[in-house]
Structure 1
Amino acid sequence: MLENLEGGGTKTRYSLIRLVNERGQIQRLCQLFGVSKSGYYAWLKRQSIDRDVEDKQVVSKIYTKYKGIYGYRQLQLFLWHDEGVWMNHKKVLRLMQNLGIQSRIRKKRQYRYTTNKAERIAENVFNQNFVAHRPNEKWVTDITQVLIGERWLYLSAVKDLFNNEIVAYAIGEHPNKELVQRTFQKAFRKRKDVTGVVVHSDRGAPYTSHLYHDMLPKVGAQISMSRGGNCYDNASIESFFSSLKTEGLSLYSIRSWKEAQKRMETYIRFYNTKRPQRKLNKLTPVEYRRQFA
Protein backbone atom coordinates (compact mmCIF):
# COMPACT_ATOMS: atom_id res chain seq x y z
CA MET A 1 0.00 0.00 0.00
CA LEU A 2 2.89 2.38 0.78
CA GLU A 3 4.26 1.95 -2.73
CA ASN A 4 0.97 3.23 -4.10
CA LEU A 5 1.28 6.39 -1.99
CA GLU A 6 4.50 7.62 -3.53
CA GLY A 7 2.60 10.08 -5.70
CA GLY A 8 -0.07 10.77 -3.15
CA GLY A 9 -0.32 14.03 -1.23
CA THR A 10 -0.25 14.60 2.51
CA LYS A 11 -4.05 14.87 2.69
CA THR A 12 -4.37 11.44 1.12
CA ARG A 13 -2.06 10.00 3.79
CA TYR A 14 -4.03 11.74 6.56
CA SER A 15 -7.26 10.28 5.15
CA LEU A 16 -5.81 6.78 5.13
CA ILE A 17 -4.60 7.13 8.72
CA ARG A 18 -8.10 8.09 9.81
CA LEU A 19 -9.50 5.17 7.82
CA VAL A 20 -7.28 2.48 9.38
CA ASN A 21 -6.83 4.11 12.78
CA GLU A 22 -6.95 1.88 15.85
CA ARG A 23 -6.93 3.15 19.43
CA GLY A 24 -3.39 3.99 20.54
CA GLN A 25 -1.86 3.46 17.08
CA ILE A 26 -1.70 7.04 15.76
CA GLN A 27 2.03 7.47 16.43
CA ARG A 28 2.92 4.25 14.60
CA LEU A 29 0.62 5.04 11.68
CA CYS A 30 2.04 8.53 11.26
CA GLN A 31 5.56 7.11 11.16
CA LEU A 32 4.45 4.45 8.70
CA PHE A 33 2.88 7.00 6.34
CA GLY A 34 5.67 9.53 6.74
CA VAL A 35 3.72 12.39 8.30
CA SER A 36 3.89 14.18 11.64
CA LYS A 37 1.50 13.42 14.46
CA SER A 38 0.84 17.11 15.12
CA GLY A 39 0.15 17.69 11.43
CA TYR A 40 -2.36 14.84 11.39
CA TYR A 41 -4.25 16.17 14.41
CA ALA A 42 -4.32 19.69 12.97
CA TRP A 43 -5.76 18.32 9.72
CA LEU A 44 -8.32 16.24 11.65
CA LYS A 45 -9.48 19.33 13.57
CA ARG A 46 -9.90 21.29 10.34
CA GLN A 47 -11.99 18.48 8.89
CA SER A 48 -14.25 18.45 11.93
CA ILE A 49 -14.71 22.22 11.79
CA ASP A 50 -15.45 22.17 8.07
CA ARG A 51 -18.07 19.44 8.47
CA ASP A 52 -19.74 21.33 11.30
CA VAL A 53 -19.98 24.48 9.20
CA GLU A 54 -21.89 22.64 6.48
CA ASP A 55 -23.98 20.65 8.94
CA LYS A 56 -24.89 23.77 10.90
CA GLN A 57 -26.07 25.40 7.69
CA VAL A 58 -28.41 22.55 6.80
CA VAL A 59 -29.69 22.24 10.40
CA SER A 60 -30.37 25.97 10.48
CA LYS A 61 -32.10 25.75 7.11
CA ILE A 62 -34.50 23.01 8.24
CA TYR A 63 -35.08 24.67 11.60
CA THR A 64 -36.06 27.91 9.85
CA LYS A 65 -38.15 26.12 7.23
CA TYR A 66 -40.38 24.68 9.96
CA LYS A 67 -40.46 27.92 11.98
CA GLY A 68 -38.51 26.59 14.95
CA ILE A 69 -41.33 24.31 16.04
CA TYR A 70 -39.42 21.05 16.32
CA GLY A 71 -36.82 19.59 18.64
CA TYR A 72 -33.74 17.65 17.60
CA ARG A 73 -35.43 14.26 17.13
CA GLN A 74 -38.07 15.48 14.67
CA LEU A 75 -35.50 17.76 13.05
CA GLN A 76 -33.34 14.68 12.46
CA LEU A 77 -36.19 13.15 10.43
CA PHE A 78 -36.75 16.30 8.39
CA LEU A 79 -33.01 16.44 7.59
CA TRP A 80 -33.24 12.97 6.10
CA HIS A 81 -36.62 13.36 4.43
CA ASP A 82 -36.10 16.83 2.92
CA GLU A 83 -32.32 17.02 2.39
CA GLY A 84 -31.17 13.40 2.26
CA VAL A 85 -28.81 14.10 5.19
CA TRP A 86 -28.71 11.58 8.03
CA MET A 87 -27.14 12.73 11.31
CA ASN A 88 -27.00 11.07 14.67
CA HIS A 89 -29.64 12.64 16.90
CA LYS A 90 -26.95 13.57 19.45
CA LYS A 91 -25.09 15.52 16.79
CA VAL A 92 -28.27 17.36 15.77
CA LEU A 93 -28.79 18.30 19.42
CA ARG A 94 -25.16 19.48 19.74
CA LEU A 95 -25.37 21.60 16.60
CA MET A 96 -28.66 23.15 17.75
CA GLN A 97 -27.04 24.01 21.08
CA ASN A 98 -24.04 25.53 19.29
CA LEU A 99 -26.39 27.58 17.12
CA GLY A 100 -28.39 28.66 20.16
CA ILE A 101 -31.69 27.35 18.79
CA GLN A 102 -34.29 25.13 20.40
CA SER A 103 -37.84 23.98 19.85
CA ARG A 104 -40.71 26.05 21.08
CA ILE A 105 -41.97 24.78 24.42
CA ARG A 106 -45.10 22.67 24.25
CA LYS A 107 -47.97 23.76 26.40
CA LYS A 108 -48.99 21.29 29.05
CA ARG A 109 -52.33 19.72 28.31
CA GLN A 110 -55.11 19.52 30.83
CA TYR A 111 -57.56 16.65 30.66
CA ARG A 112 -61.15 17.09 31.67
CA TYR A 113 -63.36 14.06 32.00
CA THR A 114 -67.11 14.02 32.17
CA THR A 115 -69.44 11.12 32.64
CA ASN A 116 -72.59 10.58 30.64
CA LYS A 117 -75.39 8.12 30.62
CA ALA A 118 -74.35 5.86 27.76
CA GLU A 119 -76.98 4.63 25.34
CA ARG A 120 -74.81 1.79 24.06
CA ILE A 121 -71.23 0.75 24.83
CA ALA A 122 -68.80 -1.85 23.47
CA GLU A 123 -65.88 -3.81 24.87
CA ASN A 124 -62.29 -2.60 24.61
CA VAL A 125 -60.99 -4.72 21.72
CA PHE A 126 -57.67 -2.85 21.46
CA ASN A 127 -56.48 -3.06 25.07
CA GLN A 128 -53.91 -0.37 24.18
CA ASN A 129 -52.50 -2.47 21.33
CA PHE A 130 -52.08 0.23 18.68
CA VAL A 131 -50.10 -1.88 16.20
CA ALA A 132 -51.72 -2.51 12.81
CA HIS A 133 -50.14 -4.56 10.01
CA ARG A 134 -52.23 -3.36 7.07
CA PRO A 135 -54.38 -0.38 6.09
CA ASN A 136 -57.95 -0.31 7.41
CA GLU A 137 -57.21 -2.83 10.13
CA LYS A 138 -57.46 -0.46 13.11
CA TRP A 139 -58.84 3.05 13.25
CA VAL A 140 -59.04 5.42 16.22
CA THR A 141 -61.37 8.39 16.48
CA ASP A 142 -62.18 11.24 18.84
CA ILE A 143 -63.27 14.88 19.02
CA THR A 144 -61.13 17.76 20.26
CA GLN A 145 -62.05 21.36 21.00
CA VAL A 146 -60.32 24.66 20.25
CA LEU A 147 -61.31 28.00 21.74
CA ILE A 148 -61.60 30.78 19.14
CA GLY A 149 -62.39 34.05 20.83
CA GLU A 150 -65.23 33.16 23.16
CA ARG A 151 -66.58 30.25 21.11
CA TRP A 152 -65.50 26.65 20.81
CA LEU A 153 -64.67 24.94 17.53
CA TYR A 154 -64.79 21.13 17.40
CA LEU A 155 -62.71 18.78 15.24
CA SER A 156 -63.68 15.15 14.73
CA ALA A 157 -61.02 12.91 13.18
CA VAL A 158 -60.37 9.30 12.19
CA LYS A 159 -56.80 7.98 12.18
CA ASP A 160 -55.53 4.75 10.61
CA LEU A 161 -53.07 3.09 13.00
CA PHE A 162 -51.27 1.30 10.16
CA ASN A 163 -49.57 4.50 9.00
CA ASN A 164 -50.97 7.14 11.40
CA GLU A 165 -52.75 8.82 8.50
CA ILE A 166 -55.76 11.03 9.16
CA VAL A 167 -58.31 9.27 7.00
CA ALA A 168 -61.09 11.84 7.42
CA TYR A 169 -62.14 14.75 9.57
CA ALA A 170 -65.01 17.17 10.07
CA ILE A 171 -65.23 20.55 11.78
CA GLY A 172 -68.32 21.93 13.48
CA GLU A 173 -69.90 24.00 16.22
CA HIS A 174 -71.06 21.09 18.35
CA PRO A 175 -69.39 17.81 19.44
CA ASN A 176 -72.43 15.74 18.58
CA LYS A 177 -73.32 12.55 16.74
CA GLU A 178 -74.00 14.46 13.52
CA LEU A 179 -70.39 15.71 13.47
CA VAL A 180 -69.17 12.14 13.97
CA GLN A 181 -71.52 10.90 11.27
CA ARG A 182 -70.12 13.40 8.75
CA THR A 183 -66.59 12.30 9.63
CA PHE A 184 -67.28 8.63 9.00
CA GLN A 185 -69.25 9.26 5.83
CA LYS A 186 -66.10 10.91 4.46
CA ALA A 187 -63.91 8.06 5.71
CA PHE A 188 -66.10 5.38 4.12
CA ARG A 189 -66.21 7.24 0.79
CA LYS A 190 -62.43 7.63 0.81
CA ARG A 191 -61.47 4.08 1.79
CA LYS A 192 -64.33 2.25 0.01
CA ASP A 193 -64.18 -1.31 1.40
CA VAL A 194 -63.59 -1.17 5.15
CA THR A 195 -64.96 -4.57 6.03
CA GLY A 196 -63.32 -5.86 9.19
CA VAL A 197 -61.84 -2.56 10.39
CA VAL A 198 -61.95 -2.13 14.18
CA VAL A 199 -62.85 1.44 15.14
CA HIS A 200 -61.83 2.54 18.63
CA SER A 201 -63.22 5.55 20.52
CA ASP A 202 -63.86 6.73 24.04
CA ARG A 203 -67.29 6.59 25.67
CA GLY A 204 -68.32 10.10 24.73
CA ALA A 205 -71.97 10.67 23.95
CA PRO A 206 -71.57 10.69 20.12
CA TYR A 207 -69.94 7.24 20.25
CA THR A 208 -72.51 5.65 22.54
CA SER A 209 -75.43 6.86 20.42
CA HIS A 210 -77.68 4.48 18.52
CA LEU A 211 -76.74 6.32 15.31
CA TYR A 212 -73.06 5.44 15.73
CA HIS A 213 -73.70 1.83 16.71
CA ASP A 214 -76.00 1.33 13.73
CA MET A 215 -73.77 3.13 11.22
CA LEU A 216 -70.50 1.19 11.63
CA PRO A 217 -71.80 -2.40 11.45
CA LYS A 218 -73.57 -1.54 8.20
CA VAL A 219 -70.16 -1.26 6.46
CA GLY A 220 -68.67 -4.29 8.24
CA ALA A 221 -66.79 -2.34 10.92
CA GLN A 222 -66.37 -3.48 14.52
CA ILE A 223 -66.71 -1.07 17.44
CA SER A 224 -64.20 -0.86 20.29
CA MET A 225 -64.35 1.52 23.25
CA SER A 226 -62.04 2.76 25.97
CA ARG A 227 -62.66 1.98 29.58
CA GLY A 228 -64.41 4.72 31.50
CA GLY A 229 -62.11 7.65 32.35
CA ASN A 230 -58.94 6.06 30.91
CA CYS A 231 -57.21 8.47 28.51
CA TYR A 232 -54.42 5.99 27.67
CA ASP A 233 -56.87 3.68 25.90
CA ASN A 234 -57.16 6.24 23.11
CA ALA A 235 -53.70 7.81 23.37
CA SER A 236 -52.87 7.58 19.67
CA ILE A 237 -55.51 10.03 18.46
CA GLU A 238 -54.85 12.26 21.48
CA SER A 239 -51.21 12.43 20.39
CA PHE A 240 -52.28 13.72 16.98
CA PHE A 241 -54.54 16.36 18.50
CA SER A 242 -51.64 17.52 20.69
CA SER A 243 -49.39 17.89 17.63
CA LEU A 244 -52.11 19.71 15.72
CA LYS A 245 -52.62 22.28 18.47
CA THR A 246 -48.92 22.76 19.19
CA GLU A 247 -47.56 22.81 15.65
CA GLY A 248 -50.53 23.99 13.63
CA LEU A 249 -52.53 26.36 15.83
CA SER A 250 -50.72 27.75 18.89
CA LEU A 251 -48.09 29.55 16.79
CA TYR A 252 -50.69 31.83 15.26
CA SER A 253 -53.03 34.50 16.57
CA ILE A 254 -56.23 33.02 15.19
CA ARG A 255 -59.16 35.43 15.22
CA SER A 256 -61.91 33.70 13.29
CA TRP A 257 -63.45 30.28 12.71
CA LYS A 258 -62.60 30.53 9.02
CA GLU A 259 -58.92 31.03 9.80
CA ALA A 260 -58.93 28.24 12.38
CA GLN A 261 -60.52 25.85 9.91
CA LYS A 262 -57.96 26.78 7.26
CA ARG A 263 -55.09 26.22 9.72
CA MET A 264 -56.48 22.81 10.69
CA GLU A 265 -56.92 21.72 7.07
CA THR A 266 -53.42 22.93 6.16
CA TYR A 267 -51.84 21.11 9.07
CA ILE A 268 -53.66 17.83 8.39
CA ARG A 269 -52.42 17.89 4.78
CA PHE A 270 -48.91 18.61 6.06
CA TYR A 271 -49.14 15.86 8.68
CA ASN A 272 -50.26 13.27 6.12
CA THR A 273 -47.93 14.19 3.26
CA LYS A 274 -44.90 16.13 4.55
CA ARG A 275 -44.20 15.22 8.19
CA PRO A 276 -41.96 12.09 8.44
CA GLN A 277 -42.30 9.79 11.45
CA ARG A 278 -39.67 7.60 13.04
CA LYS A 279 -42.02 4.63 13.46
CA LEU A 280 -42.78 4.79 9.71
CA ASN A 281 -39.13 4.30 8.70
CA LYS A 282 -38.69 8.06 8.33
CA LEU A 283 -41.52 8.30 5.79
CA THR A 284 -44.69 10.36 5.88
CA PRO A 285 -48.02 8.54 6.40
CA VAL A 286 -48.98 8.75 2.73
CA GLU A 287 -45.53 7.63 1.56
CA TYR A 288 -45.67 4.67 3.92
CA ARG A 289 -49.09 3.59 2.66
CA ARG A 290 -48.01 3.89 -0.97
CA GLN A 291 -44.87 1.90 -0.29
CA PHE A 292 -47.00 -0.85 1.24
CA ALA A 293 -49.34 -0.83 -1.77
Structure 2
Amino acid sequence: MSILFKVAKLAKSVYYYWINQFNKPNKDDELIKVIKEICKESNYTYGYRRVTQDLSNRGINVNHKKVRRLMKELGLSCSKFTHRGRKFRSFKGKVGKVAKNIINRRFKTHVPFQKIVTDITEFKLKNGQKLYLSPFMDLYSSEIISFEISKRPSLEIVINPLKEMIAMRPDLSYRLTIHSDQGWHYQHSQYTKLLKANKVFQSMSRKGNCLD
Protein backbone atom coordinates (compact mmCIF):
# COMPACT_ATOMS: atom_id res chain seq x y z
CA MET A 1 0.00 0.00 0.00
CA SER A 2 2.89 2.35 0.80
CA ILE A 3 4.16 1.92 -2.77
CA LEU A 4 0.77 3.01 -4.09
CA PHE A 5 0.88 6.09 -1.87
CA LYS A 6 4.26 7.03 -3.35
CA VAL A 7 3.12 6.46 -6.94
CA ALA A 8 -0.10 8.41 -6.45
CA LYS A 9 1.71 11.03 -4.33
CA LEU A 10 -1.07 10.67 -1.79
CA ALA A 11 -0.56 11.16 1.94
CA LYS A 12 -1.77 8.30 4.14
CA SER A 13 -3.77 10.72 6.28
CA VAL A 14 -5.71 11.98 3.23
CA TYR A 15 -6.39 8.43 2.06
CA TYR A 16 -7.74 7.27 5.39
CA TYR A 17 -9.75 10.48 5.82
CA TRP A 18 -11.69 9.77 2.63
CA ILE A 19 -12.06 6.10 3.50
CA ASN A 20 -13.64 7.12 6.82
CA GLN A 21 -15.88 9.63 5.07
CA PHE A 22 -17.24 6.98 2.72
CA ASN A 23 -17.77 4.53 5.57
CA LYS A 24 -19.37 7.10 7.84
CA PRO A 25 -23.18 6.86 7.86
CA ASN A 26 -25.03 9.91 6.57
CA LYS A 27 -26.35 11.78 9.61
CA ASP A 28 -29.36 12.84 7.55
CA ASP A 29 -30.35 9.30 6.57
CA GLU A 30 -33.11 9.04 9.18
CA LEU A 31 -34.36 12.55 8.42
CA ILE A 32 -34.47 11.78 4.69
CA LYS A 33 -36.40 8.60 5.43
CA VAL A 34 -39.08 10.55 7.35
CA ILE A 35 -39.24 13.29 4.69
CA LYS A 36 -39.82 10.65 2.00
CA GLU A 37 -42.53 9.09 4.16
CA ILE A 38 -44.31 12.44 4.66
CA CYS A 39 -44.16 13.24 0.94
CA LYS A 40 -45.56 9.83 0.06
CA GLU A 41 -48.39 10.17 2.61
CA SER A 42 -49.32 13.56 1.11
CA ASN A 43 -49.29 12.07 -2.40
CA TYR A 44 -46.38 14.42 -3.11
CA THR A 45 -48.49 17.57 -2.74
CA TYR A 46 -46.61 19.02 0.25
CA GLY A 47 -44.07 21.78 -0.18
CA TYR A 48 -41.09 22.18 2.16
CA ARG A 49 -43.05 24.34 4.62
CA ARG A 50 -45.74 21.73 5.20
CA VAL A 51 -43.11 19.00 5.42
CA THR A 52 -41.24 21.08 8.03
CA GLN A 53 -44.48 21.51 9.98
CA ASP A 54 -45.22 17.79 9.79
CA LEU A 55 -41.71 17.00 11.01
CA SER A 56 -42.27 19.34 13.96
CA ASN A 57 -45.57 17.59 14.72
CA ARG A 58 -43.58 14.35 14.91
CA GLY A 59 -41.09 15.86 17.34
CA ILE A 60 -38.38 16.47 14.73
CA ASN A 61 -37.33 20.12 14.72
CA VAL A 62 -35.40 21.00 11.57
CA ASN A 63 -34.73 24.34 9.91
CA HIS A 64 -37.00 24.82 6.90
CA LYS A 65 -34.01 25.76 4.72
CA LYS A 66 -32.46 22.35 5.35
CA VAL A 67 -35.74 20.61 4.53
CA ARG A 68 -35.99 22.60 1.30
CA ARG A 69 -32.39 21.66 0.36
CA LEU A 70 -32.89 17.96 1.06
CA MET A 71 -36.20 17.87 -0.83
CA LYS A 72 -34.55 19.57 -3.80
CA GLU A 73 -31.66 17.08 -3.75
CA LEU A 74 -34.14 14.19 -3.56
CA GLY A 75 -36.35 15.60 -6.31
CA LEU A 76 -39.29 15.84 -3.91
CA SER A 77 -40.33 19.41 -4.63
CA CYS A 78 -44.07 19.93 -4.52
CA SER A 79 -45.73 19.59 -7.89
CA LYS A 80 -47.56 22.71 -9.02
CA PHE A 81 -51.32 22.36 -9.02
CA THR A 82 -52.66 21.81 -12.53
CA HIS A 83 -56.28 20.97 -13.08
CA ARG A 84 -59.08 20.80 -15.61
CA GLY A 85 -61.67 21.93 -13.16
CA ARG A 86 -63.63 25.12 -13.43
CA LYS A 87 -63.80 28.02 -11.06
CA PHE A 88 -66.70 27.62 -8.67
CA ARG A 89 -69.13 30.53 -8.85
CA SER A 90 -69.99 31.24 -5.24
CA PHE A 91 -71.09 34.85 -5.65
CA LYS A 92 -74.51 35.46 -4.08
CA GLY A 93 -74.47 39.22 -3.94
CA LYS A 94 -73.57 41.10 -0.79
CA VAL A 95 -74.14 38.67 2.07
CA GLY A 96 -71.50 40.13 4.37
CA LYS A 97 -68.59 42.52 4.15
CA VAL A 98 -66.94 43.14 0.76
CA ALA A 99 -63.27 44.06 1.23
CA LYS A 100 -61.28 46.55 -0.84
CA ASN A 101 -59.00 45.34 -3.62
CA ILE A 102 -55.75 45.91 -1.70
CA ILE A 103 -53.67 43.67 -3.97
CA ASN A 104 -54.94 45.53 -7.07
CA ARG A 105 -53.15 43.15 -9.49
CA ARG A 106 -49.82 43.57 -7.65
CA PHE A 107 -49.26 39.83 -7.47
CA LYS A 108 -45.47 39.86 -7.12
CA THR A 109 -43.70 39.73 -3.75
CA HIS A 110 -40.14 39.10 -2.62
CA VAL A 111 -40.97 37.69 0.81
CA PRO A 112 -43.01 34.66 1.96
CA PHE A 113 -46.39 34.89 3.69
CA GLN A 114 -46.99 38.46 2.52
CA LYS A 115 -49.49 37.83 -0.28
CA ILE A 116 -51.64 34.69 -0.41
CA VAL A 117 -54.43 34.03 -2.90
CA THR A 118 -57.32 31.60 -2.66
CA ASP A 119 -60.39 30.48 -4.55
CA ILE A 120 -62.62 27.43 -4.96
CA THR A 121 -62.43 25.12 -7.98
CA GLU A 122 -65.09 22.59 -8.93
CA PHE A 123 -64.18 19.18 -10.38
CA LYS A 124 -66.56 16.69 -11.94
CA LEU A 125 -65.54 13.03 -11.72
CA LYS A 126 -66.32 10.38 -14.31
CA ASN A 127 -69.14 9.03 -12.15
CA GLY A 128 -70.76 12.46 -12.12
CA GLN A 129 -69.78 13.27 -8.54
CA LYS A 130 -68.50 16.77 -7.85
CA LEU A 131 -65.50 17.67 -5.71
CA TYR A 132 -64.43 21.12 -4.53
CA LEU A 133 -60.84 22.25 -3.98
CA SER A 134 -59.96 25.27 -1.83
CA PRO A 135 -56.19 26.00 -1.89
CA PHE A 136 -54.26 28.86 -0.26
CA MET A 137 -51.24 29.72 -2.44
CA ASP A 138 -48.26 31.88 -1.48
CA LEU A 139 -47.45 34.27 -4.34
CA TYR A 140 -43.81 34.34 -3.23
CA SER A 141 -43.11 30.73 -4.20
CA SER A 142 -46.37 29.63 -5.90
CA GLU A 143 -46.51 26.95 -3.21
CA ILE A 144 -49.83 25.63 -1.94
CA ILE A 145 -49.56 26.31 1.80
CA SER A 146 -52.80 24.57 2.74
CA PHE A 147 -55.89 23.21 1.05
CA GLU A 148 -59.19 21.43 1.61
CA ILE A 149 -61.05 19.01 -0.67
CA SER A 150 -64.73 18.41 -0.04
CA LYS A 151 -67.83 16.94 -1.66
CA ARG A 152 -69.75 20.08 -0.67
CA PRO A 153 -68.77 23.75 -1.02
CA SER A 154 -69.59 24.44 2.63
CA LEU A 155 -68.04 27.20 4.75
CA GLU A 156 -65.57 24.71 6.25
CA ILE A 157 -63.85 24.34 2.88
CA VAL A 158 -62.29 27.78 3.40
CA ILE A 159 -62.20 27.94 7.22
CA ASN A 160 -60.19 24.73 7.71
CA PRO A 161 -57.30 25.53 5.34
CA LEU A 162 -57.28 29.13 6.57
CA LYS A 163 -56.74 27.95 10.15
CA GLU A 164 -54.03 25.55 9.01
CA MET A 165 -52.26 28.26 7.03
CA ILE A 166 -52.38 30.71 9.96
CA ALA A 167 -50.94 28.05 12.29
CA MET A 168 -48.01 27.57 9.89
CA ARG A 169 -47.29 31.29 9.53
CA PRO A 170 -43.96 32.29 11.12
CA ASP A 171 -43.41 35.46 13.15
CA LEU A 172 -43.09 38.27 10.62
CA SER A 173 -42.32 41.98 10.70
CA TYR A 174 -45.02 42.62 8.09
CA ARG A 175 -48.70 41.74 7.83
CA LEU A 176 -50.18 39.09 5.62
CA THR A 177 -52.82 39.88 3.00
CA ILE A 178 -55.17 37.20 1.66
CA HIS A 179 -56.81 37.89 -1.70
CA SER A 180 -59.97 36.21 -3.03
CA ASP A 181 -63.07 36.87 -5.09
CA GLN A 182 -66.33 38.16 -3.59
CA GLY A 183 -67.78 34.69 -3.01
CA TRP A 184 -70.08 34.28 -0.01
CA HIS A 185 -67.50 32.16 1.83
CA TYR A 186 -65.09 35.10 1.96
CA GLN A 187 -67.81 37.56 3.01
CA HIS A 188 -69.00 35.33 5.86
CA SER A 189 -68.53 36.76 9.35
CA GLN A 190 -66.77 33.62 10.59
CA TYR A 191 -64.13 34.00 7.88
CA THR A 192 -63.66 37.76 8.28
CA LYS A 193 -63.52 37.53 12.09
CA LEU A 194 -60.84 34.86 11.87
CA LEU A 195 -58.77 37.14 9.65
CA LYS A 196 -59.22 40.09 11.98
CA ALA A 197 -58.37 38.05 15.09
CA ASN A 198 -55.08 37.04 13.48
CA LYS A 199 -54.28 40.52 12.10
CA VAL A 200 -54.58 39.45 8.47
CA PHE A 201 -55.57 41.98 5.82
CA GLN A 202 -58.38 40.94 3.47
CA SER A 203 -58.40 41.82 -0.22
CA MET A 204 -61.10 41.05 -2.80
CA SER A 205 -61.17 41.29 -6.57
CA ARG A 206 -63.80 43.40 -8.25
CA LYS A 207 -67.02 41.66 -9.19
CA GLY A 208 -66.80 39.93 -12.58
CA ASN A 209 -63.15 40.87 -13.16
CA CYS A 210 -61.06 37.71 -13.64
CA LEU A 211 -57.83 39.72 -14.05
CA ASP A 212 -58.02 40.79 -10.40
Is this a same-fold pair by TM over 0.5? yes
Change (3 A) 1:137 1:177: same
The runs of at least 4 aligned residues of structure 1 exceeding 3 Å deviation read: 106-115, 192-195
1:128 equivalenced with 2:105 (yes/no): yes
Q: Distance in 1 between matches of 2:132 and 2:87?
A: 16
Please provide the CA RMSD for this pair.
2.5
- Relative to structure 1, the CA distance from residue 190 to residue 231 in structure 2 (aligned partners, 3 Å threshold; closer, same or farther) is same
Q: CA deviation at 1:193?
A: 3.5
Please tell me whether residue 198 in structure 1 is matched to residue 174 in structure 2.
no
Q: Which runs of 5+ in 2 are unaligned?
A: 1-71, 74-81
Residue in structure 2 matched with residue 163 of structure 1 by the alignment: 141
1:185 is matched with: 163
Question: 1: CA distance between counterparts of 2:163 and 2:135?
Answer: 12
Q: What is the letter of the counterpart of residue 166 of structure 1?
A: I
- Secondary structure, aligned partner of 1:183: helix
Give the aligned residue type for 1:123.
K
Conserved? CA contact 2:90–2:184, under 8 Å: no
Question: Which position in structure 2 is the counterpart of 1:176?
Answer: 154
**Cα deviation 1:61-85 (Å, max 9, x = unaligned):** xxxxxxxxxxxxxxxxxxxx99xxx
Q: Give the letter for the 2:204 counterpart.
A: M
% of aligned pairs identical? 32
- Tell me, what secondary structure is at the counterpart of 2:190? helix
The offset of 1:117, in angstroms, is: 2.5
Paired residue type of 1:163: S
Alignment CA distance shift 1:112-1:221 (3 Å): closer
Alignment of 1:110-121 (within 5 A): 113=89, 115-118=91-94, 119-121=96-98
Q: Tell me how far apart the structure 2 counterparts of residues 201 and 130 of structure 1 sit (CA, whole Å).
A: 12
- Count of residue correspondences: 130
Q: What secondary structure does 1:184 align onto?
A: helix
Higher helix proportion (structure 1 or 2):
1
Q: TM-score, normalised by structure 2?
A: 0.55
> How far did 1:109 drift?
7.6
Partner of 2:16: none
SS in 2 for 1:199: strand
Are the counterparts in 2 of residues 113 and 229 from structure 1 also a CA contact under 8 Å?
A: no
Query: 8 Å contact 2:178–2:203 — kept in the other structure?
Result: yes
The alpha-carbon deviation at position 217 of structure 1 amounts to 1.3
Listed as ranges, the gaps of 5+ residues in structure 1 are 1-80, 83-105, 234-293
Aligned partner of 2:13 in structure 1 is none
- Alignment-derived partner of residue 211 in structure 2: 232
| Residue pairs, 1:267-282, within 5 angstroms | none
Structure 1 residues 190 and 115: CA distance shift in structure 2, 3 A: closer
TM-score, normalised by the number of residues in structure 1: 0.41
Deviation at 1:161, TM superposition (A): 0.6
Closer, same or farther: CA 108–146 of 1 in aligned 2, 3 Å? closer
Q: For residue 145 of structure 1, what is the amino acid of its counterpart?
A: E
